[in-house]
Amino acid sequence: MKAKKLSLVSSLVITLAAVLVVLSLFFPWWQMIFFAPQYPEGLNIIVYPNKLEGEIDIVNGLNHYIGMENFSEENFPELAYLSYLVIGLAALTLLTAILRKKAVLYGLIGLFIIGGGLGVWDLTRALRKFGTNLSPTAPIKIDPFVPPLLGHNTVANFVTESVLGYGAYFLIAAFILLLIPLWKDRTR
C-alpha cells in the first residue's frame, strides 16, 4: 500500500468539489446592479460563464450618454470558451478524486489559484476598459472611473453594486473542499 494515497473520504470530498464546479455553470458568477432615482427596482448585468443576462440593452442605452462602449457577448470572447475550461477543470478535479494522489491534488489547487487569479484579473481589466475608455464626444462628460469588483460605486445619478453570484460561491466552496483533504490526510 502506498502511504501517499488520499483517503476515500477525501476522494468523496474532491468528487463533491467537481460536482460544485459543474453546478457553477448554471448559475451567475458575478452581477452588477445599477440603481438610479428613475430605476428604484435596479437594472442588472448578470454574468454567467457563457452568457450575459439582465437589462443589458437598457444599461447600454443609458451608458451611451457618458460615452461608454456597449456591453455585449461579442465584447467578451471569454464567454465563448469559459464554460469549456470549467468543464475541463471539473474533469481534472474528478480525475484527482479517482487518482487520490496528493501531488495531483497540489497541482489541481495550483490550477484553481491560477484560474481564479486570471478570472479576477480579466474582470478587473474589463471594468477598467469600460470605465476609462469613454468616448470623447459623449454628451455628458465624466471623469474616467473603475467600478470595484465588489461593493458600491457612484457614477452620476447611478449607484452600482457589484456582487458575486451563486456560481462564484460554488467555485469558492469547491476550492475550500479541495483544501480539506490536505488537512485530513496530513502526515502525522
Partner 1 sequence: MKKWIPIASGLLAGFVAATISFADFSNSTNNQVASSTTKSDAEKVYVPFGEKDDYYLFASGGHSGQMFIYGVPSMRHIRTVPVFSPDSATGYGFDEHSKKLLGDYTWGDLHHPAFSETNGDYDGKYMFATDVGNSRAAAMDLETFTVKDIINVPNTSGPHCAAFVTQNTEYMFLPTRFAVPIGSEYKSLDDYSDQYRGVMSAVTFDQNKDKLNIAYQVALPPWSYDLSDAGKKSSADWAVMTTYNTEEATTNLEINASQADRDFIVLFNWKELVKMVADGQYDEVTGQKMIFPEKHKGGIYLVPVAKSPHGVDVTPDGKHFIASGKLAPSMTVFSFEKAFEAIEKQDFAGERNGIPIINYDSIMEREVNPENALGPLHTQFDDKGMAYTTMFISSEIVKWDPKTGETLDRVPVQYSPGHSVAAEGDTVAPDGKWLIALNKIAKDSYLSVGPSHPESMQLIDISGKMKVIQSSPVNPEPHYAQIIKADKIKTIEVYPKDENNKLATYKQDQARIERNGNEVHVYGIAMRSKFIFDAKAKRPDVIEVNQGDKVFIHLTNTDFDEDITHGFAINSYNLNIEVQPGQTNTIEFTADKAGTFPLYCTNFCSALHQEMTGYFLVKPNK
Neighbours of 174 (CB within 10 A): 23
CA distances from residue 19 to 48, 62, 82, 89 in whole angstroms, order as listed: 17, 39, 17, 11
Q: Which is nearer to partner 1, 61 or 144 (CB)?
A: 61
Q: Residue 63: which of 131, 165, 13 has the closest Cα?
A: 131
**Residue 139 lies near partner 1 (rule: CB under 8 A):** yes
Of 63 and 162, the one with the shorter C-beta distance to partner 1 is 63
- Determine, following the binding rule CB under 8 A, whether residue 61 of this chain makes contact with partner 1: yes
Per CB under 8 A, does 58 bind partner 1? yes
Please say which residue, 57 or 122, places its beta carbon nearer to partner 1.
57
Tell whether residue 37 is a contact of partner 1 (CB under 8 A): no
CA distance 54 to 89: 27
Total interface residues for partner 1 by CB under 8 A: 7
User: Which is nearer to partner 1, 59 or 89 (by Cβ)?
Assistant: 59
Q: Which residues of 139-162 are buried (b: 16+ CB within 10 A; e: fewer)?
A: eeeeeebebeeeeebebeebebbb
Does residue 72 belong to the site contacting partner 1 (CB under 8 A)? Answer: no
Q: Which residues of this chain interact with partner 1, rule CB under 8 A?
A: 55, 57-58, 61-62, 65, 139
